[in-house]
Structure 1
């Protein structure tokens, strides 16, 4: 069995996308030897330029490592990258650790933890919050679910990518908390957008409304960090896609149903964001929800 307190040696990082590339680069900058794998040649070239070691496949990246990090679009892709044909977990020795930093479905994560445990491989689910900007600066908020000893084992690695690491409980709990966090964030953003539209209709300067919100009880992440920079400016360039937000909201709504919790707000939010994503396209930034809400708010003039 691998000694958790020992030097982790080379780390495999699978998934060098918009978030994965800066996260893996932070590990390289912190002095870790990182072996990256991705389907995109462009991503691999960028990782090599950052000092990373490029590998042809997930399994090749994992060979000779005891820690594998995944940062992929969803839990199904994570499972395939680990346990599918040529999967990374197939190359791991007993006692190795997988850290899934993707936004995966909590119940699927529980099942994956059991499957990896049967191979004597540990799983910590450690999704992140903060977007590309905080991935680049290494100041992500990280939610970690799993055995406490394995979370501590992962902490030095996670600390190179995030400034806040919170243990959330058993395997899958990190992914549950991440989905619920994004539900609350998305609900606050929609409320803020609706408030802006109402203020404008009444003749109030939206910038004034935002200033009031941010010194009052209506203040939230969206009023502080999204309304003026991305929505009132019409740049819509926060770096987090609407499709990913819609996915996380569906995860939260599905979890409530799986647990027998009647969460109408979560269901409504998942439906709204799914409609917005379908209307505006997968490439739309999540702050473009304002455009969708504005379009829905236009009422035909009533005849006299």
Structure 2
């Protein structure tokens, strides 16, 4: 339950994209006061439309967010973007330079674990703290505040972050030290991507055999081949041809690259991961990063016809 003390803290929010926008709205709906920043002014204007008077302030820079917030949520598309926002650039101060002692930064995107650990050390040098809390779930779950959230960091930082996280998520899972949540998120998404790819290939072979693909989906879901792709993507988004699962192909490939970085760091050969990365990379080149992740099925079909 969110305490009055926590609600009295001002939460900074940077990154009002497809997921960040509904997450910020959940915070507003739970009584938090926000200082928000996004590189796209239209995203800020959209959030303002949903905010009650006196609950939302707009910042001109990430550094301004740091100067006016007690807790800062980052919902940014990649680790390089997080690093740029945190460290700034020539003539553009970043969050780190403006952090006040006692500030808590929560990186809720899908960043590279090693970079997360490095930024946490830099924040600690300024008397602040950084934890990683990536999310799992669709835009629909972000709107409903029912995301699954993994959280890596020490006990004190997590205790402070928890009320903020609970305003946006239904399931909060402690993963260990800082960086562990980003690692687990990347590994989870690798397993999902591999399952979706295998499912799409099975559907392609089933179609070539003139099987009833709806019944094939039922068999998979009643048998050992069941996975989240067979349960939530086949009938809903692939067989209908809508391809609207709610997660972009480019983001999927980015998470696979993060998993690849983990494989390199740990010395694990991960041959299945290498193959999966190669196929998703070709799909990205063919149909673009904005395509839905379920369109890996459409890519495989087009490849078979060429």
**Shared fold, TM over 0.5:** yes
Within 1, Cα distance between the matches of 2:201 and 2:102? Answer: 51
Could you tell me how far 1:5 is from its partner in structure 2? Answer: 10
Could you tell me how far 1:62 is from its partner in structure 2? Answer: 2.4
Is 1:139 the counterpart of 2:138? The answer is no
| Per-residue deviation, residues 145-172 of structure 1 (Å, max 9, x unmatched) | 1112211211100001110111111111
Find the counterpart in structure 1 of residue 243 from structure 2: 236
Find the counterpart in structure 1 of residue 77 from structure 2: 73
Give the conservation status (yes or no) of the 8 Å contact 1:66–1:92: no
Which sections of structure 2, spanning at least 5 residues, go unmatched?
none
Within 2, Cα distance between the matches of 1:219 and 1:133? Answer: 23
Is 1:61 the counterpart of 2:65? The answer is yes
Is 1:94 the counterpart of 2:98? The answer is no
Could you tell me how far 1:223 is from its partner in structure 2? Answer: 0.7
Q: Paired residues, what number? A: 296
Find the counterpart in structure 1 of residue 216 from structure 2: 209
Find the counterpart in structure 1 of residue 155 from structure 2: 148
Give the conservation status (yes or no) of the 8 Å contact 1:11–1:62: no
Within 1, Cα distance between the matches of 2:22 and 2:38? Answer: 14
Which sections of structure 1, spanning at least 5 residues, go unmatched?
300-304
Is 1:19 the counterpart of 2:19? The answer is yes
Could you tell me how far 1:297 is from its partner in structure 2? Answer: 3.6
Find the counterpart in structure 1 of residue 10 from structure 2: 10
1:195 aligned residue (181, 196, 202): 202
Superposed CA RMSD in Å reads: 1.6
Could you tell me how far 1:279 is from its partner in structure 2? Answer: 0.8
Find the counterpart in structure 1 of residue 191 from structure 2: 184
Could you tell me how far 1:90 is from its partner in structure 2? Answer: 2.7
SS of the aligned residue for 1:16 comes to coil
SS of the aligned residue for 1:63 comes to helix
Find the counterpart in structure 1 of residue 137 from structure 2: 130
Within 1, Cα distance between the matches of 2:116 and 2:209? Answer: 48
Runs of 4+ in 1 over 4 A off after TM superposition: none
| Per-residue deviation, residues 24-47 of structure 1 (Å, max 9, x unmatched) | 110000000011100112101111
Give the conservation status (yes or no) of the 8 Å contact 2:148–2:169: yes
Within 1, Cα distance between the matches of 2:261 and 2:94? Answer: 27
| Per-residue deviation, residues 251-281 of structure 1 (Å, max 9, x unmatched) | 1012111111111111111111111111101
Find the counterpart in structure 2 of residue 302 from structure 1: none
